[in-house]
Structure 1
Amino acid sequence: MNIFEALRQSHEIQRELSEKLLQTSGDTPERHELFKQLKNELFAHETAEDRYFYIPLMMTDSGLNITRHALAEHHEMDEMIEELSETDFSNPGWLAIAKKLSDKVHHHLKEEEHSFFQQAGKILEQKQKESLAQQYLAEYKKYKNLNKDSLT
Structure 2
Amino acid sequence: MGSTPKTRFRGKEDIFGRLVEDHDRHRALLAMISATHGESADRKKLFKELVLEIKGHAAAEEQALWSSVMRNPKTTEDARHAVGEHKEMDKLLADLAARDMASSGWLRRFAKVKDEYLHHMREEEQEQFLHAQKYLTPDDLRHLRRVFEERKRVEKAGAVIKKKIRLK
Normalising by structure 1, report the TM-score: 0.93
In 2, Cα distance between equivalents of 1:80 and 1:99: 11
The answer to which structure has the higher helix fraction is 1
Bigger shift: 66-75 or 47-56? Answer: 66-75
Structure 1 counterpart of 2:122, one-letter code: K
Q: Identical aligned pairs, as a percentage? A: 29
In 1, Cα distance between equivalents of 2:61 and 2:46: 22
1:115 aligns with 2:137: no
Kept after mapping to 1: 8 A contact 2:97/2:161? no
Q: Between Structure 1 and Structure 2, how many residues are aligned?
A: 150
Structure 1: runs of 5+ lacking an equivalent: none
In 2, Cα distance between equivalents of 1:97 and 1:80: 9
1:57-107 superposed Cα distances (whole Å, 9 cap, x missing partner) = 111101111111111211121111000111011121111111111111111
Match for residue 69 of structure 1? 81
In 1, Cα distance between equivalents of 2:158 and 2:76: 30
Structure 2 counterpart of 1:57, one-letter code: V
Structure 2 counterpart of 1:8, one-letter code: V
In 1, Cα distance between equivalents of 2:50 and 2:158: 15
Match for residue 154 of structure 2? 142
Structure 2 counterpart of 1:127, one-letter code: D
1:10-40 superposed Cα distances (whole Å, 9 cap, x missing partner) = 1111100011111111111111001001001
Structure 2: runs of 5+ lacking an equivalent: 1-12, 163-168
Kept after mapping to 2: 8 A contact 1:14/1:105? no
Please report how far the alpha carbon of residue 8 of structure 1 lies from its aligned counterpart in structure 2 after TM superposition: 1.0
Kept after mapping to 2: 8 A contact 1:57/1:120? yes
1:19 aligns with 2:31: yes
